Structure formats: structure tokens, C-alpha cells
Amino acid sequence: MKEKRTGFATRLGAIAATVGSAVGLGNIWRFPYQAGENGGGAYILVYLICVVLLGIPIMMSEFIIGRSTHKSMKGAIQELTPGSPFKIFSYVGVLGALLICGYYSVVCGWVIEYLWNSADGTLLGHTPEQYSDMFESLVGTPQRCVLWTLLFLFLNFLVLSRGIQKGVERMANIMMPLLFILLIVFCINSLMLTGSMKGMDFLFNPKFEELGWKGVVDAMGQAFMSLSLGVTCLITYSSYFKDDSRLMKDAVTISALDTLVAILAGIVIFPAVFSFGLEPNAGPKLIFEILPTIFQQMPGGMVWSILFFVLLFFASITSTISLSEIPITFMVDEYKISRGKALIITAVFMTIVAVLSALSFSTLSGVKLFEKNIFDFLDYVGPNIFMLLGGLVTAIYVGWFLKKEVIHNQLTNGGKYRSGFVQPYIIFCLRFIAPIAIIIIFLYYTGVF
Ligand code: PFF
């Protein structure tokens, strides 16, 4: 049954919206800082393996669930396998999305401050140490940090309440390729810096002794974060896909593009890190320290910097829109409340999480959860627990419980295309590789090894 649904994306724009969801701060802010903290090359290798063995199969699973029913997770599972307890996990997705979007908005707030400072001319012209201090001063000043975060959330919910996501997505369709081109320009610039090859060595020469279990967990969580997996986002988005869209091709293309953007971001950042004699393991502040240093040595640095932060803003807002849609669509579909009400409830919850996260470097820096401040805790738990758990459930559900015909019909569009080795490959990954890999990670959390 195809319900008529009003929502964020037109059927036509749904694939573009999915790319918009995938490409964001996860690729440009989180991937480089995580790679830097985990020794570079070996982390990236594990990351790539996770994309191929877990990411693409789980992305296809979410697409299969969403497109076959045109419903969000709970309704979809009820339709595909009536009475199945798996639908309970839609709550995990909703909670995960609320928490992730909360702390993610804080980073979006930082992006706005950097955009503002680029435009008023105060960003450039400092030493790398001063950039580090600038960042510390931003996150250490509660008013500034909270204000930018609230401004970002306001814009996010304004777009959602006006139903102008389509417009934003259309803008993003222009902005994304531009961001891509800009990253290539920055890559060339970084590669021309003296000492850049040390950065390339760091990125592409795996040193497994620096990885450890922490690196493996981080790489896996990052693959899920970057591809927007495990929180039902892609189920919701693919519920708007047209029946003739090609799920296998789309999942591979989206994953490849997303991974490419992350790698390009790495090639922009690390040659510069080594060339300027900075530390790769600076943590969440990494790009905010390096990028201004890069821009200011480029001719026309101010223009590059404004352009970059504008594009990054668009890449980020298309991701937060998709995160916000998860609870909104869920409440509308499940509790039959109006979209407006669902939006307000989502906005209130996210704002609370965001403000707490924004304050975690200043007023609330003393509040620790498992030895981490609130922001760092959410940045860990969101991808490494919520998304992995959601991914595990999706893999088991589609791999073991969903009828083979549904999978086959979705992958081949009712037999129109051949699925070749793809279907057995993804079923194998979903049945065995993903559950075993994710369960090992959860055992690691319990301290078994
Ligand atoms: N994939 C986005 C990024 O890399 O920035 C973040 C994200 C969006 C995660 C949507 C989860 C999600 F549902």
C-alpha cells in the first residue's frame, strides 16, 4: 500500500536528499579528527573495510525496508513482518537521532562562528597557536557557544516548519558539487606545502600498532555515522524513493561519494598538519585549528574561507534536517499527531541536549559521564552505541527474518535487473559479518577483552 505522505523530500529529490544526509560534518570534521587520534592509515583501512562489509549492506537493508513499504521503521516492520518485535528498535533510532542531532548542532554553531569571523575579516592573520586559543575561547565562552548553537537550531527548524527542505536540498544539490570541487582545490594546495608527504604517509601508511581496539571501534562507529546508518534515517528517506530507483547502484554510489569526501578532507588536513608542525591528535578542534592556517596562506584566503564555511553550513544543515526528520516522521506516523506538534516536541528535546552539549566545555565542564564531558560522551555514544546497535538489529532483521522475495524484488526492481553476486554478498554480510563484528565490539565495551 502506498500511502500519500507529506514530508520533507519529493520523491524526485529523495536520492539527492540522502546524499545530503550522508555528507556533512561527519566527513569533514569528525573523520579527520578521529583518524588523527587513531594513528591515521590503519584507522582508515579499517574504516574502508567497515564501509564495504557493513556500511553498504546495511544501507541497502535500510533502503529495502523503506522503499518496499513507503513507511518509516515501525510501520514498515509491522507491514513486512506483522507482530515482529523488531519494531521496538525504532525507539532506539529516534532516541539516537535526538541525541546525535543535539551535540552535532553545537559543531554547526562553531561553523557559523567561523563563517562570521571569515566574513568580518577577523579569522585570518594569526598563528596556529592563536587558532588553538581562538577555538578554546569560543567553546569556553558559554554565551557565544550557546548562541551560535541556538541560531543553528532555529534555522534548522525554520526550514523544517516552513516545509522548505526541498528548497534547501535543491540549494544543496548545487552546493555539494561545489564543496567537492573546493576540497579538490584545497587538496592540491595542501599537497604543495613543504613536508606534505609526511601527512600522506600518516594517512595512507597503516601502522597497526597505533590502532588498538579503540581505533577499531571508532572506525566502525564513524562508518555508521558518516553513512547515516542505524538510526532509521535511511529507512525514512528511502520510503520516499521512487519504485524505479535502483537501490544497489544508489547505495554503492552514495557510499563511494561519502567516503571520497571524507578521504579528500583527510588529504586537505593532514599534509597541512605536518607541514605546519602541528599535532594530528588535537581532537574535535582539529579542523578549526588547521583550516584557517591553510586559508591564510592561500592567495585570496578570505574568499576561500567564506566559501568553504558557507558550503560546510549547507552540508551540515542537510544532515541535521535528516536527523530531525526521524523523530518528526515517527511521531506523525505512530501517534497521528500533527507535524507541527511533532516538530515542536523534537525542537524542545534537541535544544535541551544541544544547550547541555554547548556548555560542556565551560559551565558544565565538571559534569562527567564515564570520564567524558557531555559533548564528548554523546559524540562517543551516538555513533559507537546507538548507531551500531541499530545497525546490528537491521542486519539481523533483514538477514534472518525478512522474506527473500522482498529483498530480491527490491534489489532487482521486481526482476527487472540482475542482482548478480550482490544479493548473496549482502545476505552473507548481514547474517554473519555484521552481527559478529558488532557483537565483538559490544563485548569489548563490557571489558571482556
Ligand atoms: N552522516 C552525517 C554526517 O556524516 O555528517 C550525520 C548523520 C546524518 C548521521 C543523519 C545520522 C543521520 F541519521
> Residue 222 is placed in which grid cell?
564513524
Query: Which of 152, 165, 228, 255 has most ligand 1 atoms within 8 Å of CB, for mutation?
Result: 228
Q: Give pLDDT tens digits for 275-323.
A: 999 999 999 999 999 999 999 999 999 999 999 999 999 999 999 999 9
How far is C-alpha 27 from the chain's CA centre? 7
Q: Which amino acid is at 442?
A: F
Environment class of 2 (CB within 10 Å of its CB; exposed 0-12, middle 13-18, buried 19+): exposed
2 located within any domain: no
Please answer whether residues 21 and 318 qualify as being in contact, where contact means their C-beta atoms are separated by less than 8 angstroms. Answer: yes
For cell 525554520, the residue is 158
433 located within any domain: yes
What length is written for the chain?
449
6 located within any domain: no
Q: Is 156 in the pocket of ligand 1 (CB under 6 A)?
A: no
161 located within any domain: yes
Q: 165: domain CATH number?
A: 1.10.4160
Contacts of 420 (CB under 8 A, 6+ apart): none
Which pLDDT does position 170 carry in this prediction?
A: 75
Q: Whose CA is nearest to atom 9 of ligand 1?
A: 228
Q: Give pLDDT tens digits for 311-332.
A: 999 999 999 999 999 999 899 9
Q: Is 17 in the pocket of ligand 1 (CB under 6 A)?
A: no
Q: Is 231 in the pocket of ligand 1 (CB under 6 A)?
A: yes
In order along the chain (449 residues), what is the average pLDDT of each group of 10 residues?
46 77 97 96 98 98 96 92 90 96 98 97 94 96 97 95 77 85 96 96 94 94 97 93 91 96 97 95 95 94 95 94 93 91 97 98 95 97 96 97 96 93 96 97 86
Total count of domains within the chain: 1
For cell 592561500, the residue is 298
Q: Is 107 in the pocket of ligand 1 (CB under 6 A)?
A: no
Q: How far apart are CA 240 and CA 168, in angstroms?
A: 17
1 located within any domain: no
Q: What is the CA radius of gyration of the chain?
A: 21
Which pLDDT does position 9 carry in this prediction?
A: 46
Q: How far apart are CA 233 and CA 227, in angstroms?
A: 10
Which pLDDT does position 166 carry in this prediction?
A: 74
Q: Is 233 in the pocket of ligand 1 (CB under 6 A)?
A: yes
3 located within any domain: no
5 located within any domain: no
Which pLDDT does position 3 carry in this prediction?
A: 46
403 located within any domain: yes
Give the domain range for residue 393.
11-445
Q: Whose CA is nearest to atom 12 of ligand 1?
A: 228
This prediction's pTM:
0.94
